[in-house]
Structure 1
Amino acid sequence: MSGRTTSEPESVLTTDSDINRTVSSAGLEALRRGFGYLHSIQGTHGGWTGDYDGPLFLLPGYVFIHHIVGRPLSEADRTAFIATLRRAQTSEGSFGLHADGKGYLFTTVLNYVALRLMGVGADDPDIRCAHAWIHENGGASAVPSWGKYWLSILNLYSWEGCHPVPPELWILPQALPIHPSRFWCHCRVVVLAISYLYGRRFQAHVDPLLSSLRNELFSEPFDAVDWPAMRDRVCPVDRYFEPPRILRTLNYFLGIFEKWMPGSVRAKALKTVLDHIKHEQMTTDFIDIGPVNKLLDTLAVWSAEPDSEHARKALDALPQYIFDCERGKTMQAYNSSELWDTGFVALSLADSGLAGQFVPMARETYRFIDENQIRNDVDQRERYFRDPSKGGWPFSNRAHGWPIVDCTALGLMGALALAPYALAPMDTGRLLEAVDLLLFWQNNDGGWSTYERQRVGAWLETLNASEIFGNIMVDVSQVELTSSAIQGLAAARSSIGDRFKPVRARNVDAAISRGAQFVRALQRPDGSWEGNWGICFTYGTWFGIWGLLDAGAAPDDPAIVRAAGFLRTKQCSDGGWGESHESCTQRQYVQHADGGQVVMTAWAVLALVRASPEQHRDAIKAGLRFLTERQLPNGDWPAQGMTGVFNRTCMLNYRFYRNYFPLWALALALKNGIA
């Protein structure tokens, strides 16, 4: 992602004397303070571990499982979790889908139940406010499907009020275009676990507290609710889109099939699904790909074999998702973002020219990247619908086991960038494995998806049954993933291309060219690109510019000029850039109410420096002033709004974005003589 052309130290790294000829002492001091701060909090494993949180529907599930299986939370955890949820509650009594969001019935109901299960009384002022908000917005029967599933599991709702999720889907012929093996992996594994729990109609034992909650959550007596009539009922505040006719029709026929499903077929399907769940757990060291399926997989296995060693290991692994972060102790959106964060630290440090002053930091950073490359494919991967893994890098750590396209590109570039400081550099064969995996992952449209090659047409998105998230069904090509793959391949071509076989060299060149065409096709008329994993047009446009430049585009390429022009129009009067998370849901640029934001400013500066440092000098200098003036004395930057997003509607906090992106922006600007 740096556009670096070689891994040799004399050409990769700019010396302090070179920097001092072109930069202000304030800028250089900001870099030294910033890297000094990062070095002071570097983990003993060589990486950085910070909070990766934001969603407010995760921690309730953690509380639910402990209640269901009879594993009481420790008093310390219970106290900390209650405090975290109280801080997250809005003044009107609701809870947002994420920490910066407006109230959702889905998360308000789940957090209400979690607080009650942790011992908060029904007469508590916060509980009373939440209770009133829930009933003002239709009661618990109007939660979207994910809420209905959780409430059914807790025996606070009926499975008859849910759209069918039959486990028999998994024993259909795999050639069918609607077979779950074609779903995006995060969707696939959630459907997998829910289909098992639905297929068994698993429900918790009703105790006095759950019995009380039945009376608290609904506007009518629990036993009088017409459950089938509730299937399509969703609070308007929560609904992101209206279900299309094809989905309604499919749900209707699934309901008919469910009534006539032979017991022998159901038993076969449940056995198959449980086998897939256990494989997912065993190949991820019981971490699972993400927190939602971690919770549901654990519950599914416990429901099937509560006294087994496998179930115990799954339960024991749950705390790996708990982290005490800036907004309190909560459940993370992944087991960590360590590789992602450490890779960006590697690139920013290499581009700063200061790696020679932080050799132990550079060496340990390299060690983390080295040790967390995935070395083998998953056992029986085709049977369990897995792509190759060997040579890739994950978002978090090697134990997690799921490689991702942009993380693989980032790991590859980080390894190349800091190789001069490694005690034992990775051998070329391992680097080539990463190159070959990136080549394998390229889609037919020339772009790259997240975890896997695209397995079905985007039309399958019409079967998105979540109601609250967008783009969850199909792993389609995206600008950030495509740009990252281009950058990784270009860096490898420049650094180790002399060790490419001719056929690999040709394949890399062709892949980069096709990727660039895809990136061009995604550019909007105003010059921007829409981001999928960061907020939103600032993030996407940075990736679009860098991907095209690393594919060989010139700074005066019309696409680059339009993109830079778009960013120039969004610069705030304070010199920074600030984009609201509402851009993601509205799919058009929305200015942040607080003006410039440190992270968005860094992304814009990174984009403009690569686009044309001389042409955009004044805008870049204003952005640099914004960044340096807001750096704290200890080298950190203050926490601001959310910077990440998934599936259009749920925002994420990346703890270290406010550290390495400003440092990287400063480093590249100063390296290009802009002070």
Structure 2
Amino acid sequence: MAADGSALSESRLSSEALDRAVLSAHTALSQAQQDDGHWVYELEADATIPAEYILLEHFMDRIDDALEQKIAIYLRRIQSEEHGGWPLYHNGKFDLSATVKAYFALKAVGDDINAPHMQRAREAILDHGGAERSNVFTRSQLALFGEVPWRATPVMPVELMLLPAKAFFSVWNMSYWSRTVIAPLLVLAALRPVAANPRQVHVRELFVTPPEKVQDWIRGPYRSAWGYVFKGLDSVLRPVVPFIPEKTHKKAIQAALDFIEPRLNGKDGLGAIYPAMANVVMMYRAMGVPDEDPRAKTAWEAVQALIVEKDDEAYCQPCVSPIWDTGLSGHAMIEAASGPDGIAPEKTLSKLKTACAWLRSKQILNVKGDWAVRNPNLAPGGWAFQYGNDYYPDVDDTAVVGMLLHREGDPANADSIERARTWIVGMQSTDGGWGAFDIDNNKDVLNHIPFADHGALLDPPTADVTARCISFLAQLRNPEDEPVIQRGLEYLRKEQEKDGSWFGRWGTNYIYGTWSALCALNAAGVSHDDPAVVKAVEWLRSVQRADGGWGEGCESYEGGPHGTYGESLPSQTAWAVLGLMAAGRRDDPAVARGISWLADQQDANGEWHEDPYNAVGFPKVFYLRYHGYKQFFPLMALARYRNLENSNSRRVSFGF
């Protein structure tokens, strides 16, 4: 039976239809490859980033009316008809903070507040407690426009930048994204600039209580008793901060700049993520740095590079994902070219050779990033997520690229693979798992400070990233790595949910996590009859939908059921069948039904379509839609299904 209780379809795809589907998808993916060998697809978030971009232009008085009108079209399109506000993901529930920012941005571009869409949004905001109940980052944005007093934000003195790495509240105990966002924000909070706001747009109508009369801006809901403790500490520190000596204050601002400026990252921007980049732009303006200054000019250009502009609308991406997209596309391409019936192997392998050469050129070999604070003797060797982000290579990307280079087999890849292997081994945390960017970044109590109301201040080890590292190391089969792999497997076993699934920290969600873990267990040689594998397989079978596909919504991060959604989705179905095939179940009828569903959903151009979000930045706070997932994962699944038909063992021989 399916997850919804319906009888499952029994259809099975013919070998001819399978070959056509693989060829068509392979052709579409090949055509998306850039001339220099890489792939990059759009990366979409919610209304927050596009709205913040509009507000950034008004903060700076650098207004591009034509672009803003296109962004406004995008914002109006994604407004919910159901609740009148803006959700954090496709068809999601009302989100107060996203709605406040979207409303403010639309008002800034000239939308009449009495227009029906604005009225519905305003009423929804007021019904949910008003803008005064928005999150910390939204209140900081409002403070920059003078809409709320700075006491609406938690106490975060710039003097935090002076704390050594061993100090509990040190920025070095926070995640990479937190460090890069916070450092320029601390300077802004210290200088307290007011936006240029040339059209004098204000949003007092969004407050239930006038901002100047709000007595308590920081009032939960707290996730633990620590919330109350830190609220008390905030109350104690607030009257003390103004008495910090001016000399210390200036020293702290300089410490922030000393952190930021080596990491400005040229045209890719600080941390290569929008919030940090935008904060730097505003920071330089607040410091009086001219827009023509090379630092300020490049910071502004880095933000512009995130804009996706189409004929009728535009939006701002939170970042770009070329390394990730290229690594995953490469795996799909090499799968399509594998086996006795591989598609145009000479042409495909030539494209892969170009992609691998591009990836080798992006490996970070000469910069010791922030990760070196925890392991200063480790040599660099990772890849970032974006085009350039040398201080912040990503463990997950590095494992994916390393597996691709190893599988592609060019001797020119050997040094890159070994540098990546050494770096991955050195990035293992003490509990046996791997985080995305840091080692042992797991002081969970910090997620309870008032500033961290988003609950995503840290980068602890996770099952999906750990699984990818195990897969990479196991694929290389170096005997000296066996203890590292075994510690990782122990971590994975501890992280398995009671229902047999694994949590997906960076992809939606339990289907993604379970696929990742099953790949790792297979690569490490764990028996397909191992209880953990069997339990995971039974869970995947249990959540298959009646049409043969799988789907899971972002609601699963918010207490919703694991592995379910209102429709089947290409990316999720591909993950599920890839996971089952990694567990030795290529001939399972559930896999055949999933493969048939994928082939049936493919369009005439060899592509798939998927509106729901398929990944997560921060659970409950920030979700993502990778536009490439719906293309390269289905191809990977279809091609692997075809290739395993001719495999005597039915065992996937690679880590991914």
Q: Which residue of 2 aligns with 1:12?
A: none
Distance (whole Å) between structure 1 residues aligned to residue 231 and residue 361 of structure 2:
48
Q: Which residue of 1 aligns with 2:124?
A: 133
Q: Please state if 1:662 is matched with 2:634.
A: yes
Q: Which residue of 2 aligns with 1:624?
A: 595
Mapping of residues 476-491 of structure 1, within 5 Å: 476-491=460-475
Q: Please state if 1:457 is matched with 2:443.
A: yes
Q: Which residue of 1 aligns with 2:74?
A: 84
Distance (whole Å) between structure 1 residues aligned to residue 116 and residue 26 of structure 2:
45
Mapping of residues 100-499 of structure 1, within 5 Å: 100-205=91-196, 207=198, 209-210=200-201, 213-221=202-210, 225-227=212-214, 229-232=215-218, 244-282=227-265, 285-307=268-290, 308-324=293-309, 328-334=313-319, 336-352=320-336, 353=338, 354=343, 355-378=345-368, 390-398=380-388, 402-420=392-410, 425-463=411-449, 465-467=451-453, 469-470=454-455, 472-493=456-477, 497=478
AA paired with 1:293? A
CA shift, 1:643, in A, is 0.8
Question: Which of 520, 525, 532 is the aligned partner of 1:559?
Answer: 532
Mapping of residues 494-509 of structure 1, within 5 Å: 497=478, 505-506=479-480, 508-509=481-482
AA paired with 1:291? Y
CA shift, 1:533, in A, is 1.0
Cα contact 1:519–1:547 (8 A) shared by 2: no
CA shift, 1:127, in A, is 2.1
Instruction: Name the SS for the 2:412 alignment partner.
Output: coil
Instruction: Name the SS for the 1:606 alignment partner.
Output: helix
Q: 1:389–1:207: structure 2 CA closer, same or farther, 3 Å change rule?
A: farther
Q: Please state if 1:653 is matched with 2:625.
A: yes
AA paired with 2:434? W
Distance (whole Å) between structure 1 residues aligned to residue 400 and residue 146 of structure 2:
45
CA shift, 1:339, in A, is 1.2
CA shift, 1:31, in A, is 0.6
Distance (whole Å) between structure 2 residues aligned to residue 384 and residue 281 of structure 1:
22
Bigger mean CA offset, 150-159 vs 254-263: 254-263
CA shift, 1:254, in A, is 2.4
Instruction: Name the SS for the 1:530 alignment partner.
Output: coil
Q: Which residue of 1 aligns with 2:573?
A: 601
CA shift, 1:458, in A, is 3.1
> Deviations for 1:175-222, whole angstroms, at most 9, x for unmatched residues?
212211111111222222221111112222465523xx1443334555
CA shift, 1:366, in A, is 2.1
Q: Which residue of 1 aligns with 2:558?
A: 585
Q: 1:194–1:98: structure 2 CA closer, same or farther, 3 Å change rule?
A: farther
Distance (whole Å) between structure 2 residues aligned to residue 543 and residue 394 of structure 1:
20
AA paired with 1:86? R
The answer for unaligned runs of 5 or more in structure 2 is 1-12, 648-656
Instruction: Name the SS for the 1:653 alignment partner.
Output: strand
Cα contact 1:53–1:654 (8 A) shared by 2: yes
Bigger mean CA offset, 53-62 vs 81-90: 53-62
Q: 1:490–1:58: structure 2 CA closer, same or farther, 3 Å change rule?
A: same
CA shift, 1:273, in A, is 1.1
Q: 1:215–1:538: structure 2 CA closer, same or farther, 3 Å change rule?
A: closer
Q: 1:569–1:198: structure 2 CA closer, same or farther, 3 Å change rule?
A: same
Distance (whole Å) between structure 2 residues aligned to residue 58 and residue 578 of structure 1:
26
Q: 1:251–1:524: structure 2 CA closer, same or farther, 3 Å change rule?
A: same
CA shift, 1:671, in A, is 1.4
AA paired with 2:420? A
Cα contact 1:393–1:407 (8 A) shared by 2: yes
Instruction: Name the SS for the 2:41 alignment partner.
Output: coil
> Deviations for 1:34-86, whole angstroms, at most 9, x for unmatched residues?
010111121122122211112221112211221122212152x1221110011
CA shift, 1:25, in A, is 1.0
Cα contact 1:454–1:474 (8 A) shared by 2: no
Cα contact 1:528–1:566 (8 A) shared by 2: yes
Distance (whole Å) between structure 2 residues aligned to residue 579 and residue 410 of structure 1:
23
Distance (whole Å) between structure 1 residues aligned to residue 187 and residue 270 of structure 2:
19
The answer for unaligned runs of 5 or more in structure 1 is 1-21, 498-504
Distance (whole Å) between structure 2 residues aligned to residue 666 and residue 52 of structure 1:
24
Distance (whole Å) between structure 2 residues aligned to residue 90 and residue 327 of structure 1:
20
AA paired with 1:117? A
Q: 1:590–1:661: structure 2 CA closer, same or farther, 3 Å change rule?
A: closer
Instruction: Name the SS for the 2:189 alignment partner.
Output: helix
Q: Which residue of 2 aligns with 1:32?
A: 23
CA shift, 1:143, in A, is 1.3
Q: Please state if 1:516 is matched with 2:502.
A: no
Cα contact 2:360–2:413 (8 A) shared by 1: no
Distance (whole Å) between structure 2 residues aligned to residue 476 and residue 460 of structure 1:
12
* TM norm structure 2: 0.89
Q: Which residue of 2 aligns with 1:5?
A: none
Cα contact 1:321–1:332 (8 A) shared by 2: yes
CA shift, 1:296, in A, is 1.0
AA paired with 2:630? R
Instruction: Name the SS for the 1:652 alignment partner.
Output: strand
Distance (whole Å) between structure 2 residues aligned to residue 645 and residue 285 of structure 1:
22
> Deviations for 1:470-501, whole angstroms, at most 9, x for unmatched residues?
3x1222111111111111112223xxx5xxxx
Bigger mean CA offset, 580-589 vs 395-404: 395-404
